[in-house]
Amino acid sequence: MEILMPEPQIYVERTLAIIKPDVIDKEEEIEDLILRSGFHIIQKRKLQLSPEQCSNFYAEQFGKVFFPNLTAYMSSGPIVAMVLARNCAVSYWKELLGPSNSLRARITHPNSLRALYGTDELRNGLHGSVSTSSAEKEIRFLFPEAILEPVPSGQRARDYLNLYVKPTLLAGLSALCRVKPAEPL
């Protein structure tokens, strides 16, 4: 009788998280909550963006009424940018953040990060990417040295394992079986 084992899968998705200027003093507390929520912090940096950099980062919001206030707020002090990874990172991070309006978050999602750390719609404490494509773009913006290769999945992952990993493992394990140490312990 064969035991059916599920095929191993690689679950890695990245998203960008930003701790905004007004809650930077809660950095350690927020990081602890992030880690306890199953995320891995892949990269992290503390920086202060200029108003021009903020304008470029939030270019999709250009023309909206709150845009000048947003760029002034985001350039008002240091921020902490983090690349987070886990299975379905973008959707889990958005869920952990809660609604963008902190006042609404307190009512509808009282345990969300924005309910806990935000003060209003603009000063909501944290930023999160809205999609995997925006996450890649935002990560490239704040971590230009980062290598963002697509993680293989499905047949591409199986091909990679068969071509590179399995032959190396087979050769190493075969060599290990041929050698019989005098003192195994």
Q: What is the pLDDT of residues 120-175, one digit of tens each?
A: 888 999 999 999 999 999 999 999 887 666 666 677 778 878 888 888 888 888 88
DSSP letter (8 states) at residue 20: -
Beta strands in 48-148, from DSSP E residues, in sequence order: 79-86, 126-128
Give residue 102's pLDDT. 94
Q: Does the pLDDT of residue 23 top 70, yes or no? A: yes
Q: Does the pLDDT of residue 4 top 70, yes or no? A: no
This prediction has a pTM of 0.75
CB 90 within 8 A of CB 102: no
Give residue 148's pLDDT. 64
Name the nearest CA neighbour of 81 among 106, 101, 120, 54: 54
In the CATH hierarchy, which fold is given to the domain comprising 14-142?
A: Alpha-Beta Plaits (3.30.70)
Which residue numbers are catalytic?
A: 127
Q: Is 181 exposed, middle or buried (0-12, 13-18, 19+ CB in 10 A)?
A: exposed
How is the chain split into domains, by residue range?
14-142, 152-184
Element holding 35 (H helix, E strand):
helix 27-36
The side-by-side arrangement of strands in the sheet containing 13-19 is 40-47, 79-86, 13-19, 126-128
Q: Does the pLDDT of residue 28 top 60, yes or no? A: yes
> What would the mean pLDDT of 78-96 be, rounded to a whole number?
95
Longest CA span, the chain: 77
